[in-house]
Structures are given as structure tokens and as C-alpha cells.
Amino acid sequence: MIAPIEGFSKLTKAEKIDWIAANYTDNPPVTKNILQRYWNSDNQLQKLHDEFIENTLTNYYLPLGIAPNFLINGNLYAIPMAIEESSVVAAASKAAKFWLDRGGFKASVLGTEKIGQVHFMFRGDTKKLEKFFVTVKPQLIADARPITKNMEKRGGGIRDIVLRNRTDQMADYYQLHCTFDTLDAMGANFINSCLEQFARTLKTEALKVDYFSEAEKNVEVVMSILSNYVPNCLVRAEVSCPLADLNEDPAIAPEELARKMVRAVAIAKTEPYRAVTHNKGIMNGVDAVVLATGNDFRAVEAGVHAYASRSGNYTSLTHAEIKDDRFRFWIEIPLALGTVGGLTKLHPLVKLALDILQRPSAQELMQIVAVAGLAQNFAALRSLVTTGIQQGHMKMHLLNILNQMGATASEKAILIDHFKNDTATHSAVVDAFHKLRDH
């Protein structure tokens, strides 16, 4: 049985690796070799990566690809995408090229409001708390001014603080529901610092209120934290074209393709089992750009899926319609992103990705990310309602299968050519590989 370890964080990286390899792997020399192979040869760069998180052993690489030809609001972008899943970059690129000659993508930011909350317990008369809040609200804002003054100079800061009574859900439970604009910063540290100051002011000022009982004066702050649900930090992206221009495939009429696409979206609006996979495909595009630009994809995922459930049923993030002989396809999605702070000034590839995107503002990045999600969904739906998803996906997955089997460069070339016109299922690839080896 492996014994617990004390002071693991105080060990050197080499000592951490030795301990992990000796206690949790069957072949310590192989483990150590794998971990060391992924270190960066530039010691300063490796030190930078080591300090991003705690207890670092090595780097975990993801491929960084480019999807070119994205025409967004009249500007041409090549979009960096960090993702391990085959076919995602290819599908996004194909959709971008398709819409390049049809007016491109239109995108607009509908709101930039971000949310934070102070959760607290007040045991007493709600009317007295409401009276107190009216008087303390200016003090909450004033006491946070050392935190907000620089943000305010740039046009951001606190937008509002509202007292929310949630005692219908939990006894004595109230919130300070606070809204912010953090401009080009994602703003998590800024928001959390403001909220913690609000909490201190709330507790301190409550002790001074002469019309509070002793119990009412003792406001209990449970926690102060931003929310990753940002339904008013919203962006829309869309494409449209005349029905006659929708399809390049002579095997299906453009009107029929449009009807199939609209119906596919309608199914995702109706059926949660389909909606989850439908939205996962959207997030293939969204997360890949969020990762490449050093933003928090877990926060984005949580907020997006909450937004997809806002009606009480989990539903599609995209919409489609046929109107006046035009096909229209669009998405509205909440995205709290930043282009300053965090990894944007630390990670060399993040800085490069933002350079490739022409150093966008946070609002411009919101539009680019939404477009990437829309493009991914368009490509997936077009495949699903025509040839099926596997034909294109498995062709892209072919190299992964061949690499797993240890195919040589010449064997890969032969088998890639072999599967140009056949569906590359896993079993078919394995059979073809063994036949080639046997000869």
C-alpha cells in the first residue's frame, strides 16, 4: 500500500518525478523519460511554464492549428485553435471558405455585463435590511474605489449593486448581486477583490445601525465570488445567403439542404439528448479558440451550458430559418473573455495567437470565438444531413489510427490514398494495414 506523502509541494521537480515514478508507475525509468522529453529545452521558458501552476512535472502539449479565410464583419482572419480532436480545424476551415464568397460572417456584441455576488445571512426584519441597503450602497462603492479607480479611468468598473432577497429558497439568505464592466480584462481578480471589499463594508456598517437588533447587526457573510453565468455578456454571430447559393453539391438541391439544416436545428431545440451533442460540436470551435488565446474554457463551458438551459430545458445554442428565399443561421452565446492580464502577457503562444488575430479587444475576441462556434456547427450539421458525420471525421482520424499501429511514412501514404473514396472505419483501416504488411 502506498503511504501518503507530507510536504510534496516542497520537493524539487526532480524529487516529485522520482516519487511519482517509483510509487505510481510500473516502469520508473520510462516514466521519467516521458516526462523529461516534454520539457522545453529553453530553461527560462520551462521555468515560466513550471510557475503557471503548482506541483509541475512537465508540459502537456496540445496541437495549435490555424483555420484561415474567416471573413468577419469585413475583416479577414486566420483563427488559431488549440485542440486535440481531429477534423475540428478542417471543418472550421471548410465552413470559413464556404461563407467567404457569400458575404462572410456578421457578428455583434449585445452586452458586456459580468456578475459577482456576496452571499450572506441576515437574521431579522427584511424591511430594516432594505432600508439599511439604501444607505450603505454608496459606501460600498466608495470603499471599493481604491480597487476600481484604474478600471474607471478606462471606462469600466462597478455598474450596479442590488440587494436580492432569496429567503424563499433558503432561510435568512440574501445576496448583493453586483454587475461590472471589465473592458478587455476577463476580470475575475478585479471582481472578486471588489466583492470581498463589499463584504467587509457590509459587515462593518451593519454593526453601526441603531435600528438593528444585536442579531441583525451580526451579518454573516458566507462567501464573495464572481459568477461564470453571464447571460448579459452576450455576442451574436450569423451567416445568410439566398437559398440558391447554399449548396455546392449537385447530389442535393439547395432548398432541400436548407430544409434539412433547419429541421436538424429544430430537433436540437426539442430533444436534450441531441442538444448536448449539438452544443458540444459548437464548443469544439469555441473552446479551441478560448484555449489558444489563454482564456478559461471551463468558465466559458459552465456559463454557456447554463445559458442553454435558461428556459428550464436544455436546448440548442444555434438557430436557423428560411425566410424570403434566404437561409439564415445564427448563434447567441455568453462569453466572458479577456485580451489583457492572465496568460495573455505570460504565455508566448497566447501572445502569438492574439497577434495573429490582429490584437483584438475583448469584444472583438468575443465575436471571433462566437463565429468559430457557429462555423463548427454549420460544418457538422451539413455533414450530418448529407453524407453523415463519419465519412469526413474518419478520414481525418485515419492518421491517428495509423500512428497507433506504428505505420511507416510509406505505409501511411498508401493507405491514405486507399481510403480517399472509402469510409475509413477503424476496423477497415486495421484490415487494410494488416493486408499491406502481409504483402
pLDDT, tens digit, 9 for 90 and up, residues 92-106: 999 999 999 999 999
Among residues 143, 184, 238, 296, which one is catalytic?
A: 296
pLDDT in tens, 171-190: 999 999 999 999 999 999 99
pLDDT at 225: 98
Mean pLDDT is lowest, of 66-75, 265-274, 311-320, 394-403, for 394-403
The mean of the pLDDT values for the chain is 93
Residues 409, 206: Cα–Cα separation, whole Å: 73
Q: Which three cell numbers stand for residue 377?
A: 456547427
| Phi and psi, residue 173, nearest 5° | -95, 125
Sheet holding 114-121, edge to edge: 157-165, 173-181, 114-121, 220-227
Residue 248: exposure state from Cβ atoms within 10 A (0-12, 13-18, ≥19): exposed
Single pTM value for the model: 0.89
Among residues 94, 114, 278, 393, which one is catalytic?
A: 393
What topology does CATH give the domain 64-111+234-386?
3.90.770
Residue 21 predicted with pLDDT over 60: yes
User: Mean pLDDT throughout 68-73?
Assistant: 98
Q: What is the four-CA torsion angle of 96, 97, 100, 102, rounded to 10 degrees?
A: -100
Residues 232, 112: Cα–Cα separation, whole Å: 6
Among residues 85, 216, 245, 256, which one is catalytic?
A: 85
Known catalytic residue at 47: no
- For the chain, the domains span 8-50, 64-111+234-386, 114-227, 393-438
pLDDT at 396: 58
Distances (CA, A) of 265 to 185, 258, 386: 34, 11, 14
Among residues 49, 106, 128, 280, which one is catalytic?
A: 280
Spatial CB neighbours of 360, under 8 Å, sequence gap ≥ 6: 339, 354, 368
Residues 429, 286: Cα–Cα separation, whole Å: 31
pLDDT at 343: 85
| Phi and psi, residue 88, nearest 5° | -65, -50
Residue 433 predicted with pLDDT over 90: no
| Phi and psi, residue 25, nearest 5° | -135, 155
| Phi and psi, residue 299, nearest 5° | -65, -45
Residue 390 predicted with pLDDT over 60: no
Of the candidates 373, 433, 422, the residue with the CA atom closest to the CA atom of residue 400: 433
Is 114-227 in the same CATH topology as 64-111+234-386?
no
Of the candidates 82, 115, 86, the residue with the CA atom closest to the CA atom of residue 294: 82
User: Mean pLDDT throughout 363-368?
Assistant: 98
Known catalytic residue at 85: yes
Known catalytic residue at 296: yes
Known catalytic residue at 6: no
The CATH class that applies to domain 114-227 reads: alpha beta
User: Mean pLDDT throughout 103-132?
Assistant: 98
Only one residue has cell 476496423, namely 427
Query: Exposure pattern of 12-37 as b/e (b: 16+ CB <10 Å)?
Result: ebeebbeebbeeeeeebeebbeebee
Half-sphere exposure of 250 (CA within 13 A, CB side): 0
Residues 54, 148: Cα–Cα separation, whole Å: 30
Sheet holding 318-323, edge to edge: 106-109, 234-242, 326-334, 318-323
